């Protein structure tokens, strides 16, 4: 029986600006997305008669609320011949390392890995853009999860333009285990509080995207200028998440005081990431921050920025 094991890296947002409303009810965004080397391992194989998710992590759902499950359903619906030939039974074993409900696209990356895995298991021969079109049906950040690396993401987050790699830069991620933030809550609250600042006109939104394309963060990325990148991190959702969750703001301050050169919340949070000048500096930052939050609720991970999305790491 064939099986594929895939690596599904988490992502952080180096930049997240909410431009305005879209006719489909989502927000028009301008983001810079970045993969990190922390991620999950998923094994997919044909087995049984229905999708089955195996995962030891207690917060990972096994039903259709899991994007990995929905990815199987979508593929079966779009490619009934593939499903008929190989059977709808797909067993997905998830080895979870990315924190859950954390703003790190943990669920999306798992769904993206299943799309890539089924393309191989069912011999569908789909191209990367075809896989990304399917991914966009399931979630706004799923197309990025497939290709990964460093990229500008606009539209809902599904329109990607790649940027030069930033591989190897050290980063510390911090998340309180007891705290999760719902993405719909974060966006809805932002709309309630800041809707009056939205750019209504699609042309004005497009002009703002152009401005940021040519702005200081993207320029710093193009030059591999870590100091410049660190100075121009931005996330509009901090404006609603930090006041609602004071420990996240405390963690942000602790990272900065511990010597990180750039600190920002990722996505809708509550994970905070801290860019550091070297792996040694990252370990020092982690140790200092850990001392400030004793008690075990704060999870800290030292990792690096990563240059790719879903990768097949083993096939049998
Ligand atoms: O696309 P995804 O399912 O990841 O989005 C989760 C939620 O985040 C949406 O239901 C919506 O509330 C919010 N969202 C948004 N605008 C986007 C992306 C997400 O309002 N561009």
What's the CA-to-centroid distance between 239 and ligand 1, angstroms?
17
Residues in contact with ligand 1 by the CB-under-6-Å rule are 26-27, 29, 139-141, 156-157, 183-184, 187
- Which ligand 1 atom minimizes the distance to the CA of 142? 4
Q: Which of 112, 136, 187, 192 for mutating ligand 1's site (highest number of atoms within 8 Å of CB)?
A: 187
What's the CA-to-centroid distance between 262 and ligand 1, angstroms?
26
174 within 8 A of 289, measured Cβ to Cβ: yes
What mean pLDDT comes out for the span 213-231?
A: 96
pLDDT at residue number 218: 97
Contacts of 289 (CB under 8 A, 6+ apart): 172, 174, 251, 254, 255, 258, 298, 300
pTM of the model: 0.96
pLDDT per residue as tens digits for the range 19-41:
999 999 999 999 999 999 999 99
What is the share, in percent, of the chain residues with pLDDT greater than 70? 99
What's the CA-to-centroid distance between 140 and ligand 1, angstroms?
7
pLDDT per residue as tens digits for the range 126-171:
999 999 999 999 999 999 999 999 999 999 999 999 999 998 999 9
What is the share, in percent, of the chain residues with pLDDT greater than 90? 92
Residues catalogued as catalytic: 11, 141
- Which ligand 1 atom minimizes the distance to the CA of 156? 21
């Amino acid at each position: 029986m064939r099986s594929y094991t895939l690596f599904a890296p988490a992502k952080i947002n180096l930049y997240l600006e909410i431009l305005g409303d879209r006719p489909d009810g989502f927000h028009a965004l301008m983001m810079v997305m970045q993969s990190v080397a922390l991620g999950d391992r998923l094994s997919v194989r044909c087995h049984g008669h229905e999708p089955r998710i195996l995962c030891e992590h207690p917060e990972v759902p096994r039903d259709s609320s899991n994007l990995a499950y929905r990815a199987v359903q979508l593929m079966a619906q779009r490619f009934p011949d593939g499903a008929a030939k190989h059977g709808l039974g797909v067993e997905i074993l998830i080895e979870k390392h990315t924190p859950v409900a954390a703003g790190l696209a943990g669920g999306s990356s798992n769904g993206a890995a299943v799309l890539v895995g089924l393309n191989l298991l069912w011999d569908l021969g789909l191209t990367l853009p075809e896989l990304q079109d399917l991914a966009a049906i399931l979630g706004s950040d799923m197309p990025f999860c497939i290709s990964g690396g460093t990229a500008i993401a606009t539209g809902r987050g599904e329109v990607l333009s790649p940027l030069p790699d930033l591989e190897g830069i050290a980063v510390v991620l911090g998340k309180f285990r007891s705290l999760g933030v719902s993405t719909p809550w974060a966006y809805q609250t932002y709309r309630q509080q800041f809707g009056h600042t939205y750019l209504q006109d699609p042309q004005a939104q497009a002009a703002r995207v152009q401005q940021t394309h040519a702005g200081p963060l993207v320029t710093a990325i193009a030059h591999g200028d870590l100091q410049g990148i660190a100075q121009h991190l931005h996330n509009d959702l901090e404006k609603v998440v930090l006041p609602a969750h004071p420990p996240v703001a405390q963690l942000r301050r602790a990272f900065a005081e511990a010597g990180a050169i750039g600190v920002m919340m990722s996505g809708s949070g509550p994970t905070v990431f801290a860019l550091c000048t070297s792996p040694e500096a990252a370990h020092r930052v982690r140790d200092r921050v850990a001392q400030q939050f004793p008690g075990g609720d704060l999870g800290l991970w030292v990792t690096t920025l990563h240059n790719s999305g879903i990768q097949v790491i083993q096939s049998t």
